[in-house]
Each structure stands twice: as C-alpha cells, then as structure tokens.
Structure 1
Amino acid sequence: MNSKITTLCATLLLAATAWLHAGEPNHFGQAKPGSAELERLKTLVGTWSGKVDMGQGPIDINVEYRLVAGGSVLEERSAPGTPMEMVTMFYDKAGKLAATHYCILGNRPEMALKTSDANSITLDFDSCCSIDPKKESHMHGMTLRFDDANTITTSCKAIIDGKEAQDHQSTFKRVSTAAK
C-alpha cells in the first residue's frame, strides 16, 4: 500500500513539475544551442565505417554517433557490440567543448578543446580527471578532421606506460541510411 502511494506521489510530482515548466524554453524540450564545436560535431549523427589500427594491423570498425540528454550531449560509440566497445561523450563545459572517454583501458580520461578551425577540432587531456599521465596509460587527446560531409579522419594520442604512443589516423565514411 505504501509503495503504491509513494509511486502515485512521485508520478504526480513529476507531472506537476513538467506542467509548471511547460512554457519555459529549454525545459523538457529542445536543448539550447551548444558551442560552435559541439554544433559541428552534431552533424556526425549516424553510423560511420572505417579501418582502425590499434598497433596490431588495421581492422574494420563501425562508429555510431547519437544525440542524448535532449541534444546537449553527443555520444560516440566505437566498435559497438564488441569486446573493444568504447564510448566518448562530447558536451559543453563552461561554454567550451569537452569530452569524457570511457576507455577499454578501464579508465575515463577527460579532454578539453585545444583548437578548432573550419576543418578540424582538437581536444587535449584535462587534468581534472585524476589520471596521472606519468603512471596510468590512457587516451590523452584526439583530433577529428572533417574531410567532407561524408568523410572524417580521426587521430588519437595515447599515453602508454608514461610514453606517448604513435598516432594512428583512421578515416571513416558515413554509412548510407538507404543501405540499412
């Protein structure tokens, strides 16, 4: 009986909150526009296919991009459904693009915007994530280059055992929605 009353009260509270904020912009609706870099990344929504070399030769990889949190976050899911699956969340932090990478190495480095121009966005390690770069292997930075509307090239900088690993560039092509 008590759980039914609690559930009913919680439902009513949620409905009342939604109703009270219904007329306000950006509440329970479309997210406000993000930084220019985040808005550019949002154009990646969809599935991309390419080859990635993680140091043992090139392998075929898919990358999926989707908007979450009302359009305020872009989720990148690389190698979805495989043991190598990793997730990177792109979002604005204090008005600038940032990212958190949930890595196969078992950690979650954070990165902040370093540079951007009409063709590329580069993020670099943000020390706020409590990873000691001298002691813990991790992804340290990334660059996304927009080659054209259906082609991107990525480059990731990793620190392995305290030393910068060789960059591996990967080119991805947008998977046609008609091919699905």
Structure 2
Amino acid sequence: MIKPALTALALFVAASPALAHDDAPPSAEQQFAEIASWEGRWKVAETDALQIVFEITARGKTVVERWETASGLHSMTVYHLDGGHVIATHYCPQGNQPRLESMPGEEGRIAFAFRDITGLDEGESHAFTLDWAMRGDGTLVRTEVYRSAEGPGEPGRYTLSKAEDE
C-alpha cells in the first residue's frame, strides 16, 4: 500500500508546475515561445547589407526567419515544434535544406544540432549547428557552423538588435 501511494505522490510532484525545479531546462514549448517573441525586423551589427525578419504564421505554430538584402531574399529558416524539440529547417541559397533540432539548454540560450538534410549536392556545405543567445540588453547573438566534406567550418556570428521602426 505504501509503494502505490509513494508512486502517486512522485507523479503529482513531477506534474505540478508549482513544485517543479527552478533549474529545469526550458522546454521545447518555452524555446518556441522565445523564438516567437522575436517577431519583427532586426538589424545586423556586422553588416548594413542584411536585415533579419521574424514572422509568425500558420496560426502561431510556425515562425519564419527571413534574411533580406537589397537584392531580395537571401535565405530562410522555418521553426516549428515537433514533440520535445523545436525543428529549424534552413532553406539555404545553395539549394539544400538541413533540419536541425533544439537541444535541452539553459535559460537565455537555444542550441540546435543537425538532424538530417534534403537536397544536398556533392561539394556543398550545409548548416550543422545553430545557436541563439539572448542578452540582457535585448540583443540576440546568432552563431552558426556550416559543415563540408572536410568537416565543420569556423563559426559565423551575427549580433541582432530590434530595428528602430519596430
């Protein structure tokens, strides 16, 4: 009789948000909500030639990240929930579409790791990791690593701040 009662108590504690551990990593739902909160136009500190726009679509179930240049759309990454992960599908100017999935992490950071890819042609590189860090001043730092046949390349890093007209 004690064992079923302890099991029920353990299930209650695990399921109760009020009793949840404060140090638990953000859930996929929390990560997705963070990404959705970035809706709008962002400037890129490293270049004036690029702006990044986040747009919520599909009844709030999808966030589209568009890279825009003076010559038009450069690339796009689409975020959505899939079970216990946020999936980021990157539509690369090279023509391939890697899918990355969010990893458990700490507050203020969302890291994605390679899951699979479509449309990869011989000799092309592809997005392999993606990391978002949210700073206390409201800026975002986007770090990405591409992988080729020779292995992972050097990280590319972009600092985003909300465009003033937003």
Say yes or no: TM over 0.5.
Answer: yes
Are the counterparts in 1 of residues 32 and 86 from structure 2 also a CA contact under 8 Å? yes
Aligned residues: 139
Are the counterparts in 2 of residues 37 and 116 from structure 1 also a CA contact under 8 Å? no
Aligned to 2:162: 174
Q: Which amino acid aligns with 1:86?
A: S
Instruction: Work out whether 1:159 is the aligned partner of 2:147.
Output: yes
Unaligned stretches of 5+ residues in structure 1:
1-33, 53-57
Pairing 1:13-162 to 2, within 5 Å after superposition: 35-52=29-46, 60-80=49-69, 82=71, 85-127=74-116, 129-130=117-118, 136-148=124-136, 150-162=138-150
- C-alpha offsets along residues 123-155 of structure 1, whole Å, 9 cap, x if unaligned? 01003x347799641011100110136310010
Report which of the two has the higher share of strand. Answer: 2
TM-score, normalising length from structure 1? 0.68
- 1:153 is paired with a residue whose SS is strand
Q: Which amino acid aligns with 1:38?
A: F
CA distance in 1: counterparts of 2:134 and 2:106, whole angstroms:
10
- C-alpha offsets along residues 31-89 of structure 1, whole Å, 9 cap, x if unaligned? xxx7111011111000000144xxxxx55320000101000000000125635610000
Are the counterparts in 2 of residues 49 and 60 from structure 1 also a CA contact under 8 Å? no
CA distance in 1: counterparts of 2:101 and 2:109, whole angstroms:
14
- 1:40 is paired with a residue whose SS is helix
Percent identity of equivalent pairs: 17
Unaligned stretches of 5+ residues in structure 2:
1-27
- 2:37 is paired with a residue whose SS is helix
- 1:150 is paired with a residue whose SS is coil
**Compared CA separation, residues 168 and 100, structure 1 to 2 (3 A):** same
